[in-house]
Structure 1
Amino acid sequence: MIITDTLTDRHSIDFGKTRIDFTLTLHKRKSLRIDVHPDKTISVFAPMDKDKKEILSRIKRRAPWIIKQQRYFDQFHPLSEEKRYLSGETHSYLGRQYRLKIIKGNNTVKLMGRFLKIFTKTPLNGEASRQLLDEWYLFHAKNIFEKRVALCSEKIKSLNIPIPRVQLRKMKKRWGSCKKSGEILLNTELVKAPVHCIDYVIMHELCHLKIHLHNERYFRLLSIYLPDWKKRKERLEKITI
């Protein structure tokens, strides 16, 4: 059966116990292309004149690679832990853990010794404490990330990549991403990770500004400027935010 529909359709294949869902788009092209995106979704682009069974067969042969790529992107999907924002709760900052203390007072947050102290007019209101702490994290994330991006950019200045503009956003599924325009988007929650993990995410995105795909050239480039990136990656994967 020859596929003649040029619209993008949803398809899936089974590989062992794993179900792989993907979008299939037919183009006037000569070869099959498979893209695994940072959110772990999959896009397949295939020639219009190829038989459907042949296309699915070729995708299935690439299943081990697809799964490997999805697992790779897992490191950018932060592990979440439900917080109640109560005294005694543990919260992280730059890789170290601090005990939360909720104290009645003017709305502010202070890092004092091994404690994150939230002074709030409504100490029994967990949502109010969360908002104050989120604002504190955002303030420090902005300052720290801009400094780390500048330092990391200096390390790769031979690539002639301008220091990118940094955008911050609290995200549930990614530590960071980059845009073709040269901007880097970083998760404010990354400020809870150790500095060497922050640098790993930044360097990961900076190298993507040079090589967009996760191919051999990309990892070779990353290894040149960050030889221990695998160790940093392993540490980041264990972080719960």
Structure 2
Amino acid sequence: MKTKRVMIASEEVEYDIIRSSRRTVALYIRPGGSLLIRAPWYVPAYVLLKFVESKAPWISRHRDKLKEIRPDQPSTMINAGDKIPFMGRELTVRAHENSRNGIYVIEDEIHVSVYGALTPEKITAFIDNWYLKEARNYFAERTQELVRLHGNILPVPSSVSIRKMKRRWGTCRSNGAILFNRELIKKDKELIDSVIIHELCHLVHHNHGKEFYALLESIIPDYRQRRRNLRNL
């Protein structure tokens, strides 16, 4: 497929469009200087290009700072036929060219539909976005389930959100908000539960003292073994 380009200040600039169920249009300048447009399904391409052209002064101003920066590359690109981890399972990636983008799971396969040419970059980006969406939904729902199950000893967090973290699986803030590492969605369900319970216990005890571990192990007696298993993955 021919690379998509738009004229910005007499210069051809590469761009990609990623469509989803979002309600607004967003424009990003990526390291290296290419553009990423995130848009709802229903917005026509010509409308998006007019939007981009209207932002030409802003693009030119900020693109100069980024086009000499080498784009970050994922450590591993995902290709059709690869296996990816998801909640303790392995899903085989199936990729298809289609008239619209989409992603869904059938049994032990994850099907990625891509508008246009199939490339590892596109497949990887769609699966990365899918991981994030699944993590947001699952962690919010599962946290509420565990609170209901242990409501006599565990309080309700003020919010549950997902972040990229390098050194933690989760964290609890002083305002009662709990954050989880998006990579956790790839782990076994019992290991996910151990992290959720760990952070919920911090709403009661804001340290790692004896009382904290007593509460934690009253709910998950094998917590320390689960923690070791999580570290070894």
Tell me which residue corresponds to 2:172: 178
What are the superposed Cα offsets for residues 72-113 of structure 1, whole Å, 9 maximum, x if unpaired? xxxxxxxxx932111122201111011212221221112123
CA distance in 2, matches of 1:90, 1:234: 24
Give the TM-score normalised by the residue count of structure 1: 0.60
Corresponding residue of 1:104 = 97
Deviations 1:55-80 (A, max 9, x none): xxxxxxxxxxxxxxxxxxxxxxxxxx
Tell whether the 8 Å contact from 1:169 to 1:186 is kept in structure 2 after alignment.
yes
Deviations 1:126-174 (A, max 9, x none): 2222221122122222221112101221233223623441011233332
SS in 2 for 1:111: strand
Most deviating of 82-91 and 156-165 = 156-165
- Determine the C-alpha separation between the residues in 1 that align with 2:80 and 2:153: 48
SS in 1 for 2:152: helix
Structure 2 counterpart of 1:208:
202
* Higher RCO structure, 1 or 2 (CA under 8 Å, sep 6+): 1
* Segment of structure 1 superposing worse, 201-210 or 165-174: 165-174
| Correspondences of 1:76-87 after superposition (within 5 Å) | 82-87=75-80
Hey, what does 2:138 align to over in structure 1?
Answer: 144
Q: 1:128 aligns with which of 122, 125, 143?
A: 122
**What corresponds to 1:90 in structure 2?**
83
Cα distance change on mapping 1:169 and 1:122 into 2, 3 Å: farther
Which whole-Å CA distance do the structure 2 matches of 1:136 and 1:143 have between them?
A: 11
Query: How far, CA to CA, are the matches of 2:213 and 2:154 in structure 1?
Result: 18
Q: Indicate the residue corresponding to 2:183 in structure 1.
A: 189
Q: Conserved in 2, the CA contact under 8 Å of 1:103 and 1:123?
A: no
CA contact (8 A) 1:103 1:118 kept: yes
Q: In percent, how many aligned pairs have the same letter?
A: 30
Structure 1, residues 1-50: CA drift from partner, whole Å, max 9, x if none? xxxxxxxxxxxxxxxxxxxxxxxxxxxxxxxxxxxxxxxxxxxxxxxxxx
Report the 3-state secondary structure (helix = DSSP H, G, I; strand = E; otherwise coil) of the residue aligned with 1:161. coil
Residue matched to 2:192: 198
| Residue identity opposite 1:221 in structure 2 | L
Letter in 2 for 1:89: D
- Checking the alignment, whether the CA contact within 8 Å between 1:95 and 1:192 is kept in structure 2 is yes
Answer whether contact 1:155 1:225 (CA < 8 A) is retained.
no
CA distance in 2, matches of 1:189, 1:226: 22
Give the aligned residue type for 2:191: C
Q: How many residues of Structure 1 are paired with residues of Structure 2 in the alignment?
A: 159
TM-score, with length taken from structure 2: 0.62
